[in-house]
């Protein structure tokens, strides 16, 4: 019964520790969520800024293309254009081409960064969804632990009362036995029996020891063997003579 009570107390302590850990998690969750939402807002703002930059660059690229087409149209109409004008147009076209290449690289880099930031933002959102699921699971678990704790708080006094009742009955039974004549006789007989058994074992050991000390049969057989061997040697020596 003591083991049962000890195990239930240990179980209650474990449940209480888990409850404290869960409360600590819930307290830190709000701060964590605020930090993550702040990071998501920053990423969203940066994505919008880069999208606006891409839009501006595309607009500039369109204007540049329109100017270039206009210059080429004027060149086609004006058949008497000078070589210096052609050279100037070539240089300007080359510069615009370089600018377009740079703009293209910038757009590629911006697009790559935006994709990475969108991916990170999606991961953050998924993480938040997981946290919400985890929070719901933890809340369900906390309620289960709370129900278990309440059940233990109800059962524990019952177990303690039952344990105390059994101990009282045991003491009363022991007291009655000690006052019962038949039980007293039985205990006395039991003590005498144990004492007699002990004395009997001692006597058995002493008898075994004395039997070993007074057993001459072994020595008798050895003497007869030596005598026979001596006679055989004596007879053999007489034959030689």
Residue 197: the pLDDT is 82
| pLDDT > 90 in the chain, percent | 0
Q: Where are the beta strands (DSSP E) in the chain?
A: none
* Percent of residues in the chain assigned helix, strand, coil, to nearest 5: 95, 0, 5
Whether the CA torsion 133, 137, 142, 143 is positive or negative: it is: positive
What is the pLDDT of the chain when averaged over all its residues?
68
Each residue's pLDDT tens digit, 42-76:
766 666 666 666 666 555 555 554 454 445 444 44
pTM for the structure as a whole: 0.30
Domain 2-179 in CATH 1.25.40? The answer is: no
- Highest-pLDDT range among 18-22, 161-165, 208-212: 161-165
Q: Per-domain residue ranges for the chain?
A: 2-179, 185-240
Residue 212: the pLDDT is 62
């Amino acid at each position: 019964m003591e083991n049962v009570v000890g195990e239930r107390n240990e179980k209650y302590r474990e449940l209480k520790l888990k409850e404290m850990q869960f409360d600590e998690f819930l307290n830190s969750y709000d701060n964590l969520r605020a930090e993550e939402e702040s990071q998501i807002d920053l990423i969203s703002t940066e994505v919008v800024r880069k999208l606006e930059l891409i839009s501006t660059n595309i607009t500039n690229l369109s204007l540049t293309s329109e100017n270039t087409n206009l210059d080429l149209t004027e060149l086609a109409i004006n058949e008497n254009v000078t070589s210096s004008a052609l050279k100037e147009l070539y240089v300007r076209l080359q510069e615009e081409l370089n600018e377009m290449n740079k703009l293209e690289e910038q757009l590629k880099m911006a697009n790559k960064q935006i994709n990475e930031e969108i991916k990170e933002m999606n991961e953050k959102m998924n993480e938040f969804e997981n946290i919400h699921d985890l929070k719901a699971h933890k809340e369900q678990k906390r309620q289960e632990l709370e129900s278990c704790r309440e059940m233990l708080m109800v059962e524990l006094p019952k177990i303690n009362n039952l344990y105390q009742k059994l101990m009282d009955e045991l003491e009363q039974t022991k007291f009655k036995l000690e006052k019962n004549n038949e039980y007293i006789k039985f205990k006395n007989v039991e003590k005498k029996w144990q004492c007699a058994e002990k004395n009997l074992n001692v006597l058995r050991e002493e008898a075994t020891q004395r039997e070993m000390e007074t057993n001459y049969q072994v020595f008798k057989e050895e003497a007869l063997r030596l005598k026979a061997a001596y006679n055989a040697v004596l007879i053999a020596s007489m034959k030689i003579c």
